[in-house]
Structure 1
Amino acid sequence: MTRAVRKKIPDKVKLIAALKRMGLTIEQVQFDHNPALALRPINPLTGDTIPPANDPDHIELLMITEHQKKTYGKSGEKVVTTAGSDIGNIAKVRRLTQQQEEARRRMLAKDQGEKPECTKSKWPKRPFPKRQKKGT
């Protein structure tokens, strides 16, 4: 007597079953890369990030509100800031990288004997305060 071979349960079905066990649905959660992909260095040999983009040890299951807070930052009634969030950190890295590249370019130009581009600035002229004549 031969037994029929069952199909393997698809991973999506397993995920839905696990979420259901925790009292969640697939619409309530999102997956987050930690650290964000844009903040990871690139491996020149493979072209992938370090750690790899789909490494399960660096992917977290978050509720949608938690994921938005981590990605976009805290927001209150009056103050909205991206400091400490993924997009805030990515913007900071880009700013610093651009500044470092500009400083490196200036240093290399200086080493090669080129005169640095400097713009002369003048002190702003301001008029002396006007005095009123006495007795008039």
Structure 2
Amino acid sequence: MRASDHRKHIPVGVKLHATLLLLGFSDEEIAGGLEWDHQPALALRIVDPETGELTPHPNDPRYLRPLRKAEHALKTRGAGATTAGSDVGSAAKVKRIEKDPAGGEAFRRRILAIKRGDEPPPSKRKRQWPTRPFPNRKRSKP
């Protein structure tokens, strides 16, 4: 009998665990519950009007990323004081803009292009504060 007949196939779970270790996650983090993040978030994906399918597909492995629980919560819900920059905040903004007849699908495509890195984010114009002299005050004599 050959030695190869005794070797068993490596389970997918073991392969995944080895891959996560190579990515820098510890055994405790993997066992404690690693979470998978959709990038871009499902609420920000484009829905095909004919089929109702999301683009890209929700389970496309190219758009899934392993994150620690705390990192995933921060990306999804924000830092607590505000949801700016989080998935929830972006989804709310998309909903507000889609209510406006001038916004909608074009805005969603622009946001997705910025998140993917295809298009640089719009720069905010900086301007100086106006200068004005300090008020002249008379000194009081001691």
Residue 45 (structure 1) shift: 5.2
What is aligned with 1:10?
Answer: 11
Question: In structure 1, what residue type is equivalent to 2:73?
Answer: Q
Number of residues paired by the alignment?
97
Structure 1 portions without partners, runs of 5+: 102-136
Match of 2:67 among 51, 59, 62: 62
Q: After TM superposition, where is structure 1 displaced by more than 6 Å over at least 4 residues in a row?
A: none
Q: Which has the larger radius of gyration?
A: 1
Q: Secondary structure at the match of 1:100?
A: coil
Distance between the aligned counterparts of 2:50 and 2:96, measured in 1?
26
Residue 20 (structure 1) shift: 4.2
Distance verdict in 2 for CA 1:94–1:5, change over 3 Å: farther
Matches within 5 A, 1:14-93: 14-20=15-21, 22=24, 23-24=26-27, 25-26=29-30, 27-44=32-49, 46-75=51-80, 80-93=81-94
Cα RMSD of the aligned pairs, angstroms, is 2.5
State the structure with bigger RCO (CA 8 A, min sep 6), 1 or 2: 2
Distance between the aligned counterparts of 2:54 and 2:10, measured in 1?
30
TM-score normalised by length of structure 1: 0.58
Instruction: Note if 1:96 corresponds to 2:106.
Output: no
Matches within 5 A, 1:114-133: none
Residue 30 (structure 1) shift: 1.2
Residue 88 (structure 1) shift: 0.7
